[in-house]
Every structure is written in structure tokens, then in C-alpha cells.
Amino acid sequence: MSRKFFVGGNWKLNGDKKSLGELMQTLNAATVDPNVEVVCGAPSIYLDFVRSKLDAKFGVAAQNCYKVAKGAFTGEISPAMIKDCGVNWVILGHSERRHVFGESDELIGQKTAHALESGLGVIACIGEKLDEREGGITEKVVFAQTKFIADNVKDWSKVVLAYEPVWAIGTGKTASPQQAQEVHEKLRQWLKTNVSEAVANSVRIIYGGSVTGATCKELGSQKDVDGFLVGGASLKPEFVEIINAKV
């Protein structure tokens, strides 16, 4: 079955109304491949602003959310609030949430369950650190992370899995297309064994980790790479080149 190519831009803690406004003008004016689903992950304080300025052909994502709809959780935002801004996606489990902010697999699973129950699509991130890859436990790590997510998913049509080797995020090091394909293929096999063959064939597994205009075409040509989660390059005009990697 053919899986619609998916390109997410994760703006992280970057931009202001001026620079993001200019970026959105560039995106709105660009000719982009209509066969690609594009979602931009904006800082939560700008979700309303971005949704109002970005052309409707682009989706918008929050970069995080909490596991309940409301309550005494200072500083958090909920899927209900995200949806109230007209935003339909959230990024969960990004390595920076895991390793900078100490979020556990269990918490990420709980957030995933609540976001999906609330009607958001989830870009669920997994990936190993450099010492884990060098120690030969990449599969063990990413399968364990995936299990915590999978145990909390009822409807896989709303989930995109993002494989992001932590050693390649923001370092300029990219996993080779072969390294990416190898992990994506093993993840698909894990889904086939532990969830179902139908889910394994239909769920999109995207790659993140220093994706650029220069690396995107070869990465995107791999059989099990269904798109990208793009960091720094998503704030630049070259994001359009990455969206059009399959053209």
C-alpha cells in the first residue's frame, strides 16, 4: 500500500513574529508537491498566529502537550487547547523532551494516549543516543521506546513514527541512507510482529536528524523512509526543497 510522504518541520525554540511571518510567506508562495503532507511544529505561544497565517494546505503541530485536558499544571498545554487554536497535530517524545527535560517512556505513552483520544494526530519520536549505537543496542532502545507508544495507540491512522538518532540531531551528522533504511525496516518488522501487518504496511516512519536540501533526496528514496522531521533546515527556504524531495 502506498504511504503518503510526510514532511514535518520542527521549529523548536526559534523565531519571532517577524521571522516566522517571513518564513510563512515563503512557504505560502512556494510550489510544493501536492502528494506530500506537510506539518509545521510551532512554539506553543505562536500556534494561533501560525495557524492564522499559514496556508491551509499546510498542517500545524504543537511541539509538546500534557496528558490531561485541564487542571493545576502550571506551564503546560493540553490537546484541547491545541485543537481550540485550529491545530491538529502534536510532536511527542522528541529526544530533547526525553534527554533535556527528563520525560520518561511512560509519560510519553500517557501523553500519546490522551492526545489521540482528544483527536490530535501524533508525531511520535524515538531514537538512540551515540553510546547506545556504539554499544550495539540501537534496536533494543528503539523497540522499547516504540512499545511504550504502541501500547497507547488504538488508531494508527493518526500516528506518524519519527526515527531520530540522537547523535544526528543538530550535529550535522546524518545517518547514512542505508543506516536509516535499516532501522526503519526493522521498526516496520517490529510493528508487523507486535501490532499487525496492516499497521506495519500503512504507518508512516519518517527520519529526522540533520536533514537538509543536500541529503533529502537520497534519504527519501529509501523503501521504508516515508518522509522527514526537519529541524534547523525547516526555518530556511531550503525547507521547500526538502518537501519536494520526491519530485
Residues taking part in catalysis:
94, 164
* Residue 237 to residues 12, 215, 234, Cα–Cα distance (Å): 17, 15, 8
Report DSSP state, residue 151: T
Cβ-based burial of 194 (10 A; exposed 0-12, middle 13-18, buried ≥19): middle
Q: What is the spatial distance between Cα 40 and Cα 63, in angstroms, rounded to a whole number?
A: 9
CB 247 within 8 A of CB 216: no
Cβ-based burial of 126 (10 A; exposed 0-12, middle 13-18, buried ≥19): buried
DSSP string for residues in 207-239? EESS--TTTHHHHHTSTT--EEEESGGGGSTTH
Give the residues across from 206 on adjacent strands: 162
